[in-house]
Structure 1
Amino acid sequence: MASDKQHPAGDGAGKVRPGSARAGEKGDTADDLSAEERRKVEKAQPPRALVLHEVIRLQGNHELERTLAALWWSALAAGLTIGLSLMAMGLFRARLPEHDSAAIVTSLGYPVGFLAIILARQQLFTENTLTAVLPLMSEPTLRKAGQLLRLWGVVLLGNVVGALLFAYAMLHLPIFDAKTDQAFLEIGREVMENDGWQMFSRGIVSGWMIATMVWLVPAAEGAKVWIIILVTYLMSLGSFSHIVVGTCEVGYLMWAGELGWKAFLLDFALPTLAGNIVGGSLIFALISHAQIRSDSGAPTKTAP
């Protein structure tokens, strides 16, 4: 006689355990998150490229609107401050034994000037190849172009004058011993081992790296200092030429009588300056802006 007991549907092997999802049922999705969990997810997201672009563009607009006096004194201060990079590298070099690996330690001095300048919000020319260019790319007018050229001219002049003053003081004031003075000269000589094409090419990489650093800093939050150190340390290890730091390095050589003004301008300053502008403005800034324009200018799909 057949048993009249029947197994309920889903019993045994087909039994559904609490908390498990059956086919066709809704599993864990964003809709299952609480309001507090949604806020945590939103907070954990990295800033969009458009947000970074807008932060830097607004900074650039502020710089373009500053008075000539404010730009000049800030740029002069930055030129003096960048001398800390040469000073730190020279002090390290003078106290290390002669060995190929000494450059690994000596290069740790290179970020010192950049850290002081960026944290003190002083005007550095190579930063402006990105920050001040984005407003012009967003609003390509003659007024913006004039403001950019005005900013570049004042900041570059202030940086160069400050860096040369610092180099002059390091050489002529009784501050360092003979071994450290020799280390400063060796650093300048190594820069001038490059020909004009090498200065330009290395300057492109340097300008691109500084622009990358400027782009990363707003998103870095607590890691901002480490971003600055990492990028500028690699610049030193790669011997990538930078117009402001190099002015201090080569300027020391020039004040010591080993180099003339003509060689300073034609062999170092002009090729390096051109490379920094190409790397920071024509490559990084242009590509970054094109990315934002492509995102914001993409046609939206409409329902048929």
Structure 2
Amino acid sequence: MGEEQRVEEAEEAEERSAPAARVVHAAVIEQGEEELERPLSSLFWSGVAAGIAIMASVWVSGALHHHLPDTPWSEAVIALGYPFGFLIVILGRLQLFTEHTAVAVVPLVRRPSREGAWRLGRLWATVFVANMIGTAAIAALAVFGPVQSAEVLDGMLAVSRKLTERDAAATLLQAIPAGFLIASIAWIRSAIEGSGFSSVFAVTYAIALGGFAHVVAGAAEAFLLLWHGEVGIGWVAGSFVMPALAGNIIGGTGLFALLAHAQVKDEL
């Protein structure tokens, strides 16, 4: 075997191999820095759009609930509707709390500073508030406006009522895996080129099947129940939104971002 052939084979092997963990880490840091440097107005309106778009998950799930019979396997099919809102939001590069906000933690973990903590807090607060405004607005439109049939709305409400089956403590615990899984999407997409659709669909479908709690998607369901008169604002905030927010932060930031950084910190 000639030297030229060995070089060609080595180059081909490098092309076929997955990128090293530190390369993926560097790509995520770059994404995080980009998010931290965006103007507040851009973050806000992108977050509002994400809150509105995430309702697609509830719409499709509600439509599937309406059309499917009440059988043991129907829940697994209804869960196929859950990824749709996430596909629109994440592939559309809209600001979603947990997905974009988790990658923004990595630059701070690498170089801790007061300024970095301030920038991260600004990003988190802006995106979270914007997401809540978007979900509240689109849920009100779904209840009070003729944007879907009455049958589909009934299906959406039936899907959303599952939130009321767990208390705040259960919501917090079930939000931790959701935060971890959503945060993993940014790393998967950085590691595997062209994996956007499949990675988002697989991860969010797993969240739906597992019955885990995502603060933004769940807020769309909670506000739907609120506007329909089935729960109060105290329940929305205290029994779902705040526990889910805490769990998502623990899972997406405290676990995934920190562990992902820990695996490469000695290589940097």
Pairwise same-fold verdict (TM > 0.5): yes
Q: Normalising by structure 2, what TM-score? A: 0.96
Asked if 1:279 corresponds to 2:247, the answer is no
Q: How far is 1:235 from its partner?
A: 0.5
Alignment counterpart, residue 52 of structure 1, candidates 9, 24, 29: 24
- What does residue 9 of structure 2 align with? 37
Partner of 1:300: none
In 1, Cα distance between the equivalents of 2:79 and 2:259?
30
1:9 paired residue number: none
- The answer to whether the Cα contact below 8 Å between 2:18 and 2:192 also exists between their aligned partners in 1 is no
Structure 2: distance between partners of 1:121 and 1:175:
25
Paired residue secondary structure (2:147): coil
For the 8 Å contact 1:128–1:152, the answer to whether it is kept is no
For the 8 Å contact 1:129–1:277, the answer to whether it is kept is no
Q: What residue in structure 2 maps to residue 165 of structure 1?
A: 137
The aligned residue for residue 85 of structure 2 is: 113
- Following TM superposition, by how much is the alpha carbon of 1:34 offset from its aligned partner in structure 2, in angstroms? 2.9
Deviations 1:17-50 (A, max 9, x none): xxxxxxxxxxx8x978433222111111100111
Indicate the residue corresponding to 1:264 in structure 2: 236
| 1:77-124 deviations in Å (ceiling 9; x for gaps) | 111110111111001111111112111111111111111111111111
Structure 1: gaps spanning 5 or more residues = 1-27, 297-304
Letter in 1 for 2:230: E
Say which one has the larger Rg.
1
Structure 1 counterpart of 2:119: 147
In the aligned structure 2, how far is the partner of 1:223 from the partner of 1:134?
A: 22
> Is the contact made by 1:185 and 1:253 (CA closer than 8 Å) also made in structure 2?
yes
Structure 1 residue aligned with 2:51:
79
Contact 2:101 2:123 in 1 (8 A): no
C-alpha distance in structure 2 between counterparts of 1:78 and 1:91, whole Å = 21
Distance 2:147 2:114 in 1: 48
Distance 2:39 2:129 in 1: 15
Secondary structure at the residue paired with 2:71? coil
Q: 2:180 aligns to what SS in structure 1? A: helix
The answer to whether structure 1 residue 238 and structure 2 residue 210 are counterparts is yes
Q: 1:180: how far off? A: 1.5
SS at match of 1:34: helix
Greater mean deviation of Cα atoms: 218-227 or 254-263: 218-227
Q: What amino acid is aligned across from residue 67 of structure 2 in structure 1?
A: R
Task: Give the helix-richer structure, 1 or 2.
Answer: 2
Match runs of 1:181-220 below 5 Å: 181-220=153-192
Q: Which residue of structure 1 lines up, in the alignment, with residue 108 of structure 2? A: 136
**2-side partners of 1:156 and 1:233: how far apart?**
22
* Cα separation, 1, equivalents of 2:232 and 2:102: 32
Is the 1:207–1:280 Cα contact (8 Å) retained in structure 2? yes
Q: 1:259, 1:199 → 2: CA distance?
A: 16
Question: Deviations along 1:34-67, whole A, 9 cap, x unmatched?
Answer: 3322211111110011111111111110110111
Distance 1:54 1:178, change over 3 A: same
Deviation at 1:178, TM superposition (A): 2.5
66, 71, 81: which is aligned to 1:94?
Answer: 66
Confirm or deny that 1:228 pairs with 2:200. Answer: yes
Moved more, 228-237 or 287-296: 287-296
Instruction: Determine the C-alpha separation between the residues in 1 that align with 2:148 and 2:52.
Output: 17
Q: RCO greater where, 1 or 2, for CA within 8 Å and sep 6 or more?
A: 2
Q: CA RMSD in A?
A: 1.5
